[in-house]
């Protein structure tokens, strides 16, 4: 059971959405009339999912979602009447996991929520994989730079430079990238 934050200007529609969520086995964490102060409200409420019903998402709403997606990512479902491709693309870039045109339909709610969660989880996994790959590449560059410094200053080959870095890392019980970074920093000061 997921807790859902509902954002809808229409109180009557919000009641329908809440009913549909409860029938689908979810808990309604809160109902807000707008996305103003969305980040602060999410920190207070800590919902698992955000569901927004709107005629068309405003630029402010999309900006709030983008900030939230960067700092506190969670699945966002948007029901809208706006089928403009530019609007849809902006919503997706802002972190909307499921953008449903033609508004809310109680019969489609459960599958839409399920798809949004699956899409969000896949997107998060890709983001983590990208961050890990970027970190490894960055570490590799630092290690290569440190090896180059050792090779130049000690007149040794690449294999010996790498063995020297590994030995130093083991002696200090530190990751190889950290030792390499320290060596590069010292070389910048001394050379």
Residues 161-181: pLDDT tens digits? 999 999 999 999 999 999 999
* Burial class of 13 by CB neighbour count within 10 A (0 to 12, 13 to 18, 19+): middle
CATH number, position 155: 1.10.10.10
Query: Which of 51, 86, 104 lies at the terminal end of a domain, its last residue?
Result: 104
pLDDT at residue 148 is higher than 90: yes
Residues 81 and 152 in one domain: no
Terminal CA-to-CA distance of the chain, rounded, Å?
60
Q: How many CA atoms lie within 13 A of 95 on its CB side?
A: 23
pLDDT at residue 98 is higher than 70: yes
152 found inside a domain: yes
CATH number, position 10: 3.40.50.2300
Residues 100 and 173 in one domain: no
Q: What is the mean pLDDT of residues 127-131?
A: 94
pLDDT at residue 154 is higher than 90: yes
Query: Which of 104, 119, 151 lies at the terminal end of a domain, its last residue?
Result: 104
- In angstroms, the CA 43 to CA 89 distance is 26
Helices 11-23 & 109-154 angle (0-180, nearest 10): 80
Range of the domain at 151: 133-190
126 found inside a domain: no
**Looking at the 3D structure of the chain, how many domains does it have?**
2
Residues 22 and 94 in one domain: yes
Average pLDDT, the chain: 91
Task: Report in angstroms the alpha-carbon separations of 136 from 85, 133, 158, 164.
Answer: 37, 5, 20, 20
Query: Which of 104, 125, 147 lies at the terminal end of a domain, its last residue?
Result: 104
Residues 73 and 146 in one domain: no
Residues 93 and 9 in one domain: yes
């Amino acid at each position: 059971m997921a807790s859902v934050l509902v954002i809808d200007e229409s109180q009557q529609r919000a009641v329908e959405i809440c009913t549909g969520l409860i029938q689908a086995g979810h808990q309604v964490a809160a109902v807000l009339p707008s996305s103003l102060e969305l980040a602060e409200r999410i920190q207070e409420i800590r919902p698992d999912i955000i569901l927004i019903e709107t005629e068309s998402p405003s630029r402010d709403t999309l900006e709030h979602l983008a900030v939230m997606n960067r700092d506190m990512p969670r699945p966002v479902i948007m029901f809208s009447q706006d089928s403009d491709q530019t609007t849809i693309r902006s919503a997706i870039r802002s972190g909307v996991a499921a953008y449903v045109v033609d508004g809310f339909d109680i019969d489609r709610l459960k599958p839409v929520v399920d798809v949004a969660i699956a899409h969000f989880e896949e997107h998060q996994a890709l983001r983590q994989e990208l961050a890990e790959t970027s970190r490894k590449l960055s570490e590799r560059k630092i290690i290569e730079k440190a090896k180059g410094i050792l090779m130049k200053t000690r007149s040794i080959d690449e294999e010996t430079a790498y063995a020297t870095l590994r030995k130093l890392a083991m002696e200090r019980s530190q990751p190889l990238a950290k030792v390499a970074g320290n060596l590069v920093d010292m070389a910048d000061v001394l050379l």
